[in-house]
Amino acid sequence: MGPINELWEILTLVTVVVLGGLALLVALVRGRGGDSATLPRTGPRPEEDTDVLTEERPEPEVEVEDRGGGVAVEEPEAPTPTLERPDSARGRLQRLRARLARSNNAIGNALLALLSRGGLSEQDWEDVEDTLLASDLGVEATQELVDSLRTQVKVDGTSDAAQVKQWLHDDLLRLVDPTLDRRITASREGEHPAVILVVGVNGTGKTTTVGKLGRVLVAEDKDVLFGAADTFRAAAADQLQTWGERVGVPTVRSHTEGADPASVAYDAVKGGVEAEVDVVLVDTAGRLHTKRGLMDELGKIKRVVEKVAPVGEVLLVLDATTGQNGMRQAEEFAKEVAITGIVLTKMDGTAKGGIVVNVQRKLGVPVKLIGLGEGPDDLAPFDPEAFVSAIVG
């Protein structure tokens, strides 16, 4: 072979190597990212690869709307909060009767034990009188009840426990007076909503009572609006708003501590007129009955509100455990505003049942509602028959 032939063979060999390398490079590239070729596997497939399917999760569908200025994404609506459905006011007192009986039945048991002895002496009758006075019945009502019982025992000449119990039941029911109108004014009159002003001293559970009364009215299918006119206690408006949010009742309030409460009350009632609600419940600041300036302000709130709509109810909230002190409070409030009804709270504790008779006699207005516990639906319309039956047993 000559030098030319040797050179040709070398060139041919180089060409084959280069073309082979290029072919291998193309195959590698197409195997990694191409769309039609892969490198073959060598050897058996690993067991964990066998029959494994990965399902692609579809992207969530989003509705779009072309409004002429591009595509607007329709955001999903926020879920509507679930509102509580309060228990109906009807039958609440019956459901809570056992709780009331635990509070007051001791008085009835003591009276029955005394009256059933037979041959009652003057000392026995004094003990009956003392027991009734201890129940906050009041001096006048106590004397009436004792005189009636003495007459019946003397005329009948019996000490039969069942008969004495019936006499005691009937006489107490007469004193509680089932003939009084205990309905809450909670219906629109023409263009005006019913306006309920709630008043009382600090610590009686006034704001809580407003919230619970709102639940009672909602259960009766009333449209209600709260007015948070207690602007001196920062937590009062927040507390009332929370009560409202649970049952769908809006709250008119001021976010400025110490704002004019009459102005807030006015705005609430005006808002109630515009929204055509059935009832506007106005919570006022707790005030000591001995503070003349605060009591005068209460009268101002009522006068300002009545520029928009008449006030149909002024409910005085009393702590039933305060006894005679609660009576003095009630009398002072009645001098400032025309009280139309009483709400007695904490009747499930150490309350003395006789305060119902006493406060009605002093003010000439009925007890309309009683609070029997801490639960949201533990405010009930006052039922004289159920109340007396719980005391006497």
207 labelled binding-site residue:
yes
Residue 284 among known ligand-binding residues: yes
286 is in an annotated binding site: yes
Which sign does the torsion angle of CA 320, 321, 325, 329 carry? negative
Q: Are 176 and 258 in contact (CB under 8 A)?
A: no
Determine the 3-state secondary structure of 116 from DSSP: coil
Instruction: Kindly tell me the sign of the dihedral angle through the C-alpha atoms of 200, 205, 209, 210.
Output: positive
Q: Is 349 annotated as a binding residue?
A: no
- E strands, 201-351, are 224-229, 251-252, 279-284, 311-319, 341-345
200 is in an annotated binding site: yes
Q: Is 154 annotated as a binding residue?
A: no
Is 326 assigned a ligand-binding role in the annotation? no
15 is known to lie in a ligand binding site: no
265 annotated among ligand-binding-site residues? no
Helix axis angle, 292-305 to 324-336, nearest 10°: 50
Is 253 annotated in a binding site? The answer is no
- Whether 346 has a binding-site annotation, put simply, is yes
d(CA 130, CA 204): 27
Ligand-binding site membership of 345 (annotated): yes
Contact criterion met (CB below 8 Å) for 374 and 349? no
104 carries a ligand binding annotation: no
Q: What are phi and psi of 65, to 5 degrees?
A: -135, 130
- The answer to whether 309 touches 192, Cβ cutoff 8 Å, is yes
Q: Known binder of ligand: residue 283?
A: yes
348 is in an annotated binding site: yes
CA dihedral over 243, 249, 252, 256, signed as positive or negative: positive
Can you say which residues are annotated as belonging to the binding site for GTP?
Answer: 200-207, 283-287, 345-348
Can you say which residues are annotated as belonging to the binding site?
Answer: 200-207, 283-287, 345-348
